[in-house]
Structure 1
Amino acid sequence: MIIKANLNCISQIMDIINDTVEEMKSYNNTQWDENYPKDKDFIKDIEGGDLYVYKEEDKIRGFVCINYMEPVEYDDLNWSKDEKCMVIHRMAVNSRFRNKGIGTKLMNFAEEVAMKNGVNYLKTDTYSMNTKMNSLFKKCNYKLVGQMDFMGKEKPFNCYEKML
């Protein structure tokens, strides 16, 4: 089940982050590291009511942040629409529970959240070296809009959109 996260979720979320960072390093993906994301990022998401966790058997298997905050770097891209959208941020699935459809469920949930809020347009991005998230976005029928430089990383980030 997918529910809003609370501060009691931070420890399990950070365990997933630490595991994900180690895995990312194994295929030269430096999108996340020891400096980002931190627990303070998730606390802010929780305080804003924007962080959701996928739980099974009382354990967090994945999480996603969904809100209206577009990075300023999005301004230079050729998006299909110039209208209100929701943005998917900071998403991960516990590596021990991958390939079980959790990522797809979280993406579908983001679409449900948008529609419940009267929004039919979603945006997101991921590091070009993040093969797993790029594959998930394509699988979920997100369209590649372009690339942006972001967070001082060496390679660009791929930016995606989906009309609902």
Structure 2
Amino acid sequence: MIRKATEDDVLKIMEIIKSTVKEMKGYNNTQWDENYPRDIDFFNDIKNEDLYVEEIEKSIKGFVCINYVEPNEYKDLNWSSNEKCMVIHRMAVDCNFRNKGVGKKLISFAEELAKENNIKYIKTDTYSINTKMNSLFLKCGLKLIGEMSFLGKEKPFYCYDKILY
């Protein structure tokens, strides 16, 4: 069941972050580290009512932040549409629950949330060497539209979008 996150969820979210960062380091992916994302990022997401968790049997298996905030770096890209969109940020699945459909469910939820808000279009991005997230976006029908420099990282971020209807 996907629901809005509460402050009580942040401890588990940070456990997922810690294990995800460790895994990322294993294949030299520096998209996330000890400095980002931090608990304050998730508390702010909760305050803004933008953070959602996938909870199965009273345990959080994944999370996603969904809002209308586009990074400034998005402005120079050739997106599929200029319409108002929803943007997927800060998404992860508990390492113990990968390949069980949780990521796909979170992206499907983002699409449905957009439709419920009369938004026909979603955008997102991820580090170019984040092979797992890049693969998930493509499996979910998002289209690679370009790349950008972001957060001072060495390699580019890949940007994706999807017109929903």
Give the SS at the match of 1:61.
strand
The equivalent of 2:101 in structure 1 is 101
Paired with 1:32 and 1:117, the residues of 2 have a C-alpha distance of: 30
Amino acid at match of 1:109: F
Matches for 1:73-88 after TM superposition, within 5 Å: 73-88=73-88
Give the SS at the match of 1:10.
helix
Kindly provide the CA deviation profile for residues 57-105 of structure 1, in whole angstroms up to 9, marking residues without a partner as x. Answer: 1110000000000000000100111110000000000000111000000
The equivalent of 2:38 in structure 1 is 38
Q: 2:150 matched to 1:150?
A: yes
- Residue 127 of structure 1, CA deviation: 0.1
Paired with 1:23 and 1:99, the residues of 2 have a C-alpha distance of: 15
Give the SS at the match of 2:23.
helix
Could you say what the CA RMSD is over the residues aligned between the two structures, in angstroms?
0.4
Give the SS at the match of 1:87.
strand
Paired with 1:97 and 1:141, the residues of 2 have a C-alpha distance of: 22
The equivalent of 1:116 in structure 2 is 116
Count of aligned positions? 164
Amino acid at match of 1:21: V
Paired with 1:149 and 1:59, the residues of 2 have a C-alpha distance of: 36
Give the gaps of 5 or more residues in structure 2. Answer: none
Give the gaps of 5 or more residues in structure 1. Answer: none
Give the SS at the match of 1:64.
strand
Runs of 4+ aligned residues of structure 1 deviating over 4 Å after TM superposition are none
Amino acid at match of 1:126: T
Give the SS at the match of 2:129.
coil
Percent of counterpart pairs with the same letter? 66
- Residue 14 of structure 1, CA deviation: 0.1
Kindly provide the CA deviation profile for residues 107-147 of structure 1, in whole angstroms up to 9, marking residues without a partner as x. Answer: 00000100000001000000001000000000001000100
Q: Give me the TM-score of the superposition, normalised by structure 2.
A: 0.99
The equivalent of 2:51 in structure 1 is 51
Paired with 1:81 and 1:163, the residues of 2 have a C-alpha distance of: 8
Give the SS at the match of 2:159.
strand
